[in-house]
Structure 1
């Protein structure tokens, strides 16, 4: 059930990113979401039991899903790092290509030493007592924990340096990353408990896995979806306020261009095709030109002067 919810969240994130970020030149976040969505889909029991037999029925699908998850986290970390100027050396190292390649080679080598049975949807429960399986899982989640911790550092800093509604995506990403680090630590603890035979401790920690997994993906998906949504909302509100200011200045602008014709009269076609901010800028410039031109007399009231200053 948890796997299905997580996969659904990831595909919803992919859809939202394709809609809201389609004009962005950097596609790291979209690639990351798509890759992780495939990985999470492979972990859905019904899909896993259908795909793994096609690959030989020896749980190769587990290795593919975990490798895709690591690649997706790599793209995710790179995407978060590119959105800001703060890029400490440890963060750059954590999301570097060499670290990813070493981690992928390490889990592949460990996977080959696992005595794997036929297809099972309980891979760690069935084979977690083997040292090779423990090494495989720990490497996977140590890498994931390092990348998510790097994301946590960047998201927390962005939250501190943001204001207003811009803090919302950063807050969601910070929470998601914090839950993600806790999830990785919980899995590593369970792996060690399993291989050392401390099953009581394993069963005590195990109930935390589902909620932590769901909370991690829920807040991360919400954070990444909120970023373009907030930008679009702010852009819409800015355009609306810009148009309102231009409308309030229109009568003053008409008076100004009557006594001192500007570029709007010389080239009305160019003026009509400008964006709202470009139009407002032209209005302000032409009013101010009329105010400072010594050849004409153009006085405005204190109220109009305040409106011009706000614009």
Structure 2
């Protein structure tokens, strides 16, 4: 379920790929979806032999998770911090943390003997020093990113006026906290499984709670990313519908203003289909211009028509 949600979120945001401010979210969701997909046992076991059968999929999975959280951190900084100096400071700090943690993760992995494919690296190879560096540095980086992103969101909340944006940032921060808890759950589970007291009663609780924490984290982060754009999309939808309705209401006065074809800006064969046309704003603006032009030539507008034209002009001006 988390992988499917993240792939869907990636597809929804793919049009932001070239937007400098919004592209980090797209990259974050892509790498998170990739990591969740690789974490599926069937995918992990099928892909690892292709890469040599030495758990290289596990390395790719951890790197994908780290890059994903780094991009989430970048997106949070870009959205919450407006000052260029502070923003640059946070971004540089994130890059340095990723470089340090990534170097340790790669070095720890290749210094360990992980010859047999096993999705549960902490349990199978956690006793090796290199694998401990691999696991703990990757986990520490992700937990730091989650904590820093959540703290940045909570600091930014009091300055936000829009309830939609507040809810979105709050959900994102809560999702980061749940993700940190899920990762801590996984680390604790690995430690207990590797301990002599393998029959610890907490193992069952940790096993089923991990899936819940992970799912909650993905859901909350997804909601947090969608909510701020939902209000904008809803506003655009309302504007689109109102533009089309105004075009329908303006049709009689527009037809009276367009009796002389030589004054039309464009001789269209199907003017009555304009309300359902694709570029409704352009058609509405053209009709307003043609009506105003007819007024200059002596056309008298009825009070109702005058109100409609004024409303159309205000809508086109963004009011």
- TM-score above 0.5, yes or no: yes
Unaligned runs of 5+ in 1: none
Matching of residues 126-275 of structure 1 within 5 Å: 126-130=124-128, 132-152=130-150, 157=156, 161=160, 163=162, 170=169, 172-187=171-186, 203=203, 206-207=206-207, 208-224=209-225, 234-255=235-256, 265-268=264-267, 275=279
Q: Which residue of 2 aligns with 1:73?
A: 69
**Structure 1 276/164 Cα, relative in aligned 2: closer, same or farther at 3 Å?**
farther
Label 1:191 to 1:231 Cα distance change in 2 as closer, same or farther (>3 A): same
List per-residue Cα deviations over 1:46-94 (Å, max 9, x = no partner): 2323333454544332222101221233344445555677464354235
Match of 2:7 in 1: 11
Mark the CA change 1:122 to 1:232 in structure 2 (over 3 Å): closer, same or farther.
same
Q: Is the 8 A contact 1:32 1:73 kept in 2?
A: yes
Q: CA deviation at 1:195?
A: 8.3
- Looking at structure 1, the residues matched to 232 and 252 of structure 2 have their Cα atoms a distance apart, in angstroms, of 32
* Aligned ranges 1:80-99 → 2 under 5 Å: 86=82, 88-89=86-87, 91-96=90-95, 98-99=96-97
Q: Is contact 2:107–2:130 with CA below 8 Å preserved after alignment?
A: no
Cα 1:286–1:53 change in 2 (3 A) is closer
* Aligned CA distance change for structure 1 residues 187 and 226 (closer, same or farther; 3 Å): same
- Counterpart Cα distance in 1 of 2:128 and 2:202: 15
In 2, distance between residues paired with 1:248 and 1:171? 42
How far has the Cα of 1:242 moved from its partner? 0.6
Partner of 1:48: 44
Q: Indicate whether 1:60 and 2:56 are aligned.
A: yes
1:37 paired to 2:33: yes
Give the Å deviation of 1:126: 3.2
8 Å CA contact 2:265–2:286 kept in 1: the answer is no
Flag structure 2 segments of 5+ consecutive residues without an equivalent.
313-319
Shift of 1:202: 6.9
TM-score (norm 2): 0.69
Residue of structure 1 equivalent to 2:315: none
1:93 partner SS = helix
Q: Cα distance 1:297–1:11, how it changes in 2: closer, same or farther (>3 A)?
A: closer
Q: Look up the match of 1:21.
A: 14
How far apart, CA to CA, are the structure 2 residues paired with 1:244 and 1:230? 21
The CA deviation string for residues 84-129 of structure 1, in whole angstroms up to 9 with x for no partner, is: 7746435423543x43222210111223444546322322123335
Aligned to 2:280: 276
Q: 3-state SS of the aligned residue for 1:268?
A: coil
Residues 193 and 201 in structure 1, CA contact (< 8 A), matched pair in contact too: no
Deviations 1:130-150 (A, max 9, x none): 554443223212222333445
Q: Which has the higher contact order (CA 8 A, sep 6+)?
A: 1
Query: For residues 205-251 of structure 1, what are the alpha-carbon distances to aligned partners after superposition, in whole Å with 9 as ceiling and x for unaligned?
Result: 72432211122223334555677777555534422211101222233
Kindly state the Cα deviation for residue 169 of structure 1 after the two structures are TM-superposed. Answer: 5.4
Contact (CA 8 Å) 1:43, 1:65: kept in 2 or not?
Answer: yes
